[in-house]
Amino acid sequence: MKYNYFPGCASEGTALANYHAFLAVAKKLGIELNEIEDWNCCGATVTSSVIGEFPAQVLAARNLALAEKQQRDTDIVTTCSSCYAILGLTNNKFADEEFKKKANEALKEDELEYTGNLNVRFLLDVLVNDIGVEKIEAAAEKPLKGLKVAGYVGCQSVKALRGHYDDPEYPESLDKIIRALGAEAVEFENSNKCCTGALALTAPEITVSAVHPIIDGAAKAGADLIVTPCPLCQMNLDAYQAKANKQFQTNNNLPVLFITQLMALAFGLSRKEAGLDYCIVSPYQKLSNWV
């Protein structure tokens, strides 16, 4: 399996762990990832407020054009919910001939062009539907027996492109992977609530109030840790957990890992390859059997 890989800006900063763990896991699974050369920020959901919707879509489309130029007919895979939503929605716009013409007129300024022929895929989709749970199960040399894991999918990766690969309200892909790794996927309250994403930077008090019920829900359900595929969710649940404990007088101590990190561990990769040191809430006690 071969892909055009779009890592997104978070992979160069707050989500370095995800970047490294995904590369290591992909290698184990025989996934060939070719990072889109010279990719640019997809613009997230904030750029359009400054330059307007169309230019923001063109910004995202530059990546699609680069991918097509570098590897034709090869799906794009991304590990960030927000990037997936933006790139995927922009990709869909290319079905509209008028949009396509206009966008390509702008892309010509960088000698680029895009046909609209690629698929934009999210990490979980690729793992479950291209690789398959059987293969993941087979690669799990050190199954996570006895570990209780709360899978937090977040919203954008399932709700923005509704029904692309999973149910937007009751997603299952993440839990399937957790189970394939030998762990128990626990159901928990508020698993479908939003963590408030990028508001964490400008209105942290709102984010603290939003992450609390999610973390608390997972803790009450008996989870040892939380996993998520999304860089923003990971950061909010991990970095704001202490603040939430303080504000709501709780003692929750739930490590928050990227699903790629949990896979790396189950695949028998080292603590370094799994990027565990990047975790703010220490995962070492809960994972002592596997590290």
Partner 1 sequence: MSGADGVKRYDPEFTKRVYKMDNGKWVKMCMQCGICPTTCTLRDIMDHSPRRIIQLIRAGDKEQVLKSNTLWLCTSCYTCACRCPRGVPMMDVMHDLRHLAEEEGYITNQSHMAKVYYNDVAKRGRIWEGGLTMKYGLKIGIGNALKMAREMQDVGMEMLKHKRLSIFPPKGVKNPAKLRAVLQKAAALAKEEG
Partner touching 233 among partner 1, ligand SF4, none, CB below 5 to 8 Å by kind: ligand SF4
C-alpha 276/C-alpha 280 separation (Å) is 9
List of residues contacting ligand SF4 (CB under 6 A) = 8-10, 41-42, 44, 80-83, 154-156, 194-197, 230-233
Nearer Cβ to ligand SF4 (88/255): 88
Output Rg (C-alpha) for the chain, integer angstroms.
19
Q: Which CB, 7 or 140, lies closer to ligand SF4?
A: 7
Residues contributing to the site for partner 1 (CB under 8 A): 9-10, 12-14, 16, 38-41, 43-56, 58-59, 62, 85, 102-103, 105-110, 112, 155-156, 159-160, 162, 168-169, 193-194, 196-199, 201-204, 206, 210, 235, 239-240, 242-243, 277-280
Q: In the numeric block, which tokens belong to residue 273?
A: 């390859």
Q: Which one of partner 1, ligand SF4, none interacts with residue 83, CB within 5 to 8 A by kind?
A: ligand SF4
Complex with partner 1: residue 122 or 181, whichever CB lies closer: 122
Give the shortest CB-205-to-partner 1 separation in angstroms.
Answer: 8
Residue 16: both structure tokens together: 């370095």
Closer residue to ligand SF4, CB minimum distance, 124 or 155: 155
Q: Are 11 and 79 in contact (CB under 8 A)?
A: yes
For the CB of residue 88, give the shortest distance to ligand SF4 in the complex, in Å: 12
By a kind-dependent CB cut-off of 5 to 8 A, residue 5 interacts, out of partner 1, ligand SF4, none, with none
Q: How far is the CB of 289 from ligand SF4 (least distance, A)?
A: 29
